[in-house]
Amino acid sequence: MSRRLSSSTPSEVLQAERDIRERLRGEHFDFTAMSAVSNVYRAGTAVRNHMEREVLADYDLSWVAFTVLWVLWIWGVQETGHVASEAGVTKGTLTGVINTLKNRSLIKRLPHRDDRRRVSIGLTKKGERLIEELFPIFNQHERAAVHVLSAAEQRELARLLRKVTYNVTMNEASSD
């Protein structure tokens, strides 16, 4: 049976990485970079899928809907363009999420005081109560996801991922 990158077993992932190097032997690829990026993606996907299944599903929320509520909870009323950027989605995608959250009375639309074309959104009292109930549970699962790392390793992981994120976004900005 072939080893797959989708495995959650470290030994199977390492075997898959060896299989890839063997299959591409003689080619001039950066296998270290390939492994690093693949594992960043796999870890992010695993965490997101876990959170959606084990935490957010109980509240009938998607990852993006949760992120919208969290952004509004932390920073208050925001323009929709800013929220879309923070949630990592297009304004079109955000529109559907906003409609869903508004229909559940979790957020409200607010007209911009200077420009009628711009719209801001904010939490309703119901939305605030929901995120205040949900976030401690979400954070418990965040803690469980990284409990195999020491506090110093968690800080180092966060630092390294910020560095990678900055590098990728700066390369995108310079190619525009």
Report the CATH number at residue 90.
Answer: 1.10.10.10
User: pTM, whole model, 2 decimals?
Assistant: 0.86
Range of the domain at 21: 1-54
Q: 80 in a domain, yes or no?
A: yes
Altogether, the residues listed in the chain come to a count of: 176
Same domain, 30 and 76: no
Nearest to 107 by CA among 94, 90, 91, 89: 94
Same domain, 89 and 40: no
Same domain, 66 and 106: yes
Q: Residue 3's pLDDT is what?
A: 57
Q: 104 in a domain, yes or no?
A: yes
Q: 166 in a domain, yes or no?
A: no
Measured in degrees and rounded to the nearest 5, phi and psi for residue 55 equal -125, -60
Q: Residue 46's pLDDT is what?
A: 93
Task: Name residues of the chain where pLDDT drops below 50.
Answer: 1
Q: Residue 176's pLDDT is what?
A: 64
Q: Residue 150's pLDDT is what?
A: 98
Q: Residue 2's pLDDT is what?
A: 53
Domain count within the chain: 2
